[in-house]
Amino acid sequence: MWGIVPAAGRGSRIQPLAFSKELLPVGSRRDNGADRPCAVSEYLIERLILGGADKICFVISPGKSDILEYFGDRYDSAQLAYVVQPEASGLCDAVFRASTVIGHHDSVMVGLPDTVWFPKAALKTLPDVDLSFLLFPVDCPEFFDAVVLDGDNVRQIQVKQADATSNWIWGAFKMSATGFRDLRLLWKQRSCRDEYFGTLVNAYLDAGGHGIGVKSGESYVDVGTVNGYRAAMALLANGDGSDGRSKLSAGSPNDAVRSYVNANSEGVL
């Protein structure tokens, strides 16, 4: 199974950086018995591998050779490959450029490399269907792609919608080989105009496609802003590092992160 890491974005929300945003140090990890800084994208790669990926495709822009230099050709048990996205043209374009290396019979998982979420092994809960989403509860779904469900069936993706009716957002998704081909074909039939994956999924559902939403996520942080970076550090500080589940227990999984961000925004921290 392939994991796709779309890493061609400019990272304008957290600039200036002297390196690709996917290499932003967030927390640390053990390496040969010693602690070392951990690049934020390593959290996604770890989760993709735990979800069953044995091959990872980075989709990078021409100026992000530092990602290739950092990761090389292997990470843990997974082989790595790299595909170039000439311009930052949205998530759909990035995901389907990986078809250069993905085989005709390969299923895929996709996540965002500037996020940190728990449980670490949540991707294992996604079923082997054409399209499934790993869902997380958030307080401000209007900043994400909110997923409207009927039971566990996806009815609509509300893309950064101000009046979102669901507080469950997708944090990662999985496609069978058939689902990947069908969605790529539909995207091409729509003249590749879908920038957001959610708008393509809505068209896919309207055309008779089927998606499943799985509410296995507990905590989710977008590290693409300074406040998000601080919230991620708070989230990791509350993680136990053993079974992949966070220690956030004050009412809801996001309470510790929420209190940290609120305090920071009020100038307390």
Whole-angstrom CA distances from 252 to 132, 138, 168, 256, 258 are 24, 10, 13, 9, 10
Backbone angles phi, psi at 116, to 5 degrees: -130, 130
SS3 category, 269: coil
Q: How far apart are CA 117 and CA 121, in angstroms?
A: 10
Query: Between 255 and 183, whose confidence is greater?
Result: 183
Query: Between 258 and 150, whose confidence is greater?
Result: 150
What DSSP string runs through 156-215? EEEET-TT-S--EEEEEEEE-HHHHHHHHHHHHHTTT---SHHHHHHHHHHTT---EEE-
Q: How far apart are CA 73 and CA 7, in angstroms?
A: 16
| 8 A C-beta contact, residue 172 and residue 136 | no
Query: Between 144 and 32, whose confidence is greater?
Result: 144
The residues, any chain, with a CB within 8 Å of residue 246's CB and separated by 6 or more, are 118, 119, 218, 219, 235, 238, 239, 240, 253
- 147 DSSP assignment: E
The residue among 27, 19, 115 whose CA lies nearest residue 67 is 19
Beta strands, E only, the chain: 2-7, 25-31, 34-39, 55-60, 74-75, 78-84, 108-111, 115-118, 131-137, 145-150, 153-159, 168-175, 212-214, 219-222
Q: How far apart are CA 6 and CA 91, in angstroms?
A: 7
Report the chain's mean pLDDT, rounded to a whole number.
Answer: 87
> Tokens at residue 50, please?
């735990």
Q: How far apart are CA 12 and CA 112, in angstroms?
A: 15
**Using 50, 70 and 90 to split pLDDT, how confident is the model at 256?**
very low
Whole-angstrom CA distances from 129 to 104, 125, 175, 214, 236 are 16, 12, 7, 12, 31
pLDDT number for residue 261: 41
pLDDT number for residue 16: 57
pTM: 0.86
> Tokens at residue 2, please?
């392939």
pLDDT 10s digits, 143-163: 999 999 999 999 999 999 999
pLDDT exceeds 80 at position 196? yes
The residues, any chain, with a CB within 8 Å of residue 148's CB and separated by 6 or more, are 154, 155, 156, 157, 158, 165, 166
